Amino acid sequence: MKKKLIAGNWKMNGSIEANDGLVRAVLAGMGTPGCAVAVCVPAPYLAQLQMLRAASALELGAQDVSAHDKGAYTGEVSAAMLREFGVRYAIVGHSERRQYHGETDVLVADKAKAALAQGITPIVCVGETLAQREAGQTEEVVKRQLAAVIHANGHCVSELVVAYEPVWAIGTGKTASPQMAQAVHAVLRAQLRAATPQADRVQILYGGSMNAANAAELLAQPDIDGGLIGGASLKAADFLTIVTAAGRA
Ligand code: PGA
């Protein structure tokens, strides 16, 4: 069976002191996890995390990556730079970047491609807003978002991680029910199957108010292969509970 992946998304949170305490507590409690575990941290802390994680099973992730290789792109961070810090994953197309930074499906697809070219696994986020769900457009929206990435990445599609994150569930405490989430994951799986014979290898994560109390039930669904965890990844005990649930699922 494919290993699940629990990835923390710290968003724009942390400090050198807070990171130190959080990561040491996670490492102390994690032991040999029964799933893959990563934390996606703000770029300035990558060097600190690279030292803290040392040779542990805790993988390092970034929250974004430039679509460009190098050059006059003030403020951007390239995939090659991330790789120098031992980064294994990069979130691309998080709804906060789509919403606040105007990222389009095409740009997100190019970011995924830039990450893959450096051997970094993109965690491609897709998800509908509340208005789109209420208008019955959920399937259409997530398929359009994923189609752009499939189109740009051809035979590399099986190397992606996909995260279904309904926008209305992010940071709101409103989680999609396991059945609701599974229904969308099944749509995404079918779309991946049409694109690659290795679609079953792709980990499809759920994200949006996943926490210590609801993780086990979500992770028990057949097409939910892990979680992208925001708020609950900032508390070591909660994050570890989710990691344990994923190891058992
Ligand atoms: P949340 O965030 O767990 O705080 O809802 C998830 C995410 O945005 O990745």
For 125-184, write each residue's pLDDT tens digit: 999 999 999 999 999 999 999 999 999 998 899 999 999 999 999 988 888 899 999 999
The pLDDT tens digits for 106-116 are 999 999 999 99
- Name the residue of 12, 170, 234, 239 whose CB sits within 8 Å of the most ligand 1 atoms, as the mutation to test its pocket: 170
3-class secondary-structure state, position 168:
helix
Cβ-in-10-Å burial (0-12, 13-18, 19+) of 35 comes to buried
> What is the C-alpha radius of gyration for the chain, rounded to an integer number of angstroms?
17
Q: Which atom of ligand 1 is nearest to the CA of 233?
A: 3
User: With contact defined as beta carbons under 8 Å apart, do 77 and 64 qualify?
Assistant: yes
Q: What pLDDT sits at residue 2?
A: 85
∠95-212-164 over CA atoms, to 5°? 25
Please report the pLDDT score of residue 154 as a whole number: 85
pLDDT tens for residues 12-32?
999 999 999 999 999 999 999
Q: Tell which atom from ligand 1 comes closest to the C-alpha of 169.
A: 5
Indicate whether residue 211 lines ligand 1 (CB < 6 A).
Answer: no
- Domains of the chain, by residue range, sit at 5-248
d(CA 1, CA 219): 14
Of the candidates 243, 248, 193, the residue with the CA atom closest to the CA atom of residue 38: 243
pLDDT (mean) for 182-197: 97
Q: Is the shortest distance between the CB of 8 and ligand 1 below 6 Å?
A: no
Structure tokens at 81: 């730079």
Does this model's pTM top 0.95? My answer is yes
Q: How far is the CA of 9 from the centre of ligand 1 (A)?
A: 7
**How confident is the model at residue 1, as a pLDDT?**
67
Residue ranges with strand state E in the chain: 5-9, 36-41, 58-62, 87-92, 121-126, 161-164, 203-207, 226-229
With a 6 A CB cut-off, is 218 part of the ligand 1 pocket? Answer: no
CATH architecture of 5-248: Alpha-Beta Barrel (3.20)
Q: Give, for ligand 1, the residue of 94, 124, 165 to mutate: max count of ligand atoms closer than 8 Å to Cβ.
A: 165
Is residue 208 lining ligand 1, measured as CB closer than 6 Å? yes
Task: Give the per-residue pLDDT at 5.
Answer: 98
Residue with the smallest CA separation from ligand 1 atom 6 is: 230
Count Cα atoms within 13 angstroms, Cβ side, for 48.
Answer: 18
Residue range 38-42: average pLDDT?
A: 98
pLDDT tens-digit map of 76-105 = 999 999 999 999 999 999 999 999 999 999
Residue whose CA is at the smallest distance from ligand 1 atom 7 = 230
| pLDDT (0 to 100) of residue 34 | 95
CA dihedral 141, 143, 148, 153 (to 10 degrees): 150
Residue whose C-alpha is closest to residue 101's, from 70, 131, 67 = 67
Reduced to 3 states, what is the DSSP secondary structure of residue 2? coil
Confidence of residue 203 (pLDDT cuts 50, 70, 90): very high
Query: Could you tell me if the CB of 174 is within 6 A of ligand 1?
Result: no
How high is the mean pLDDT of the chain?
96
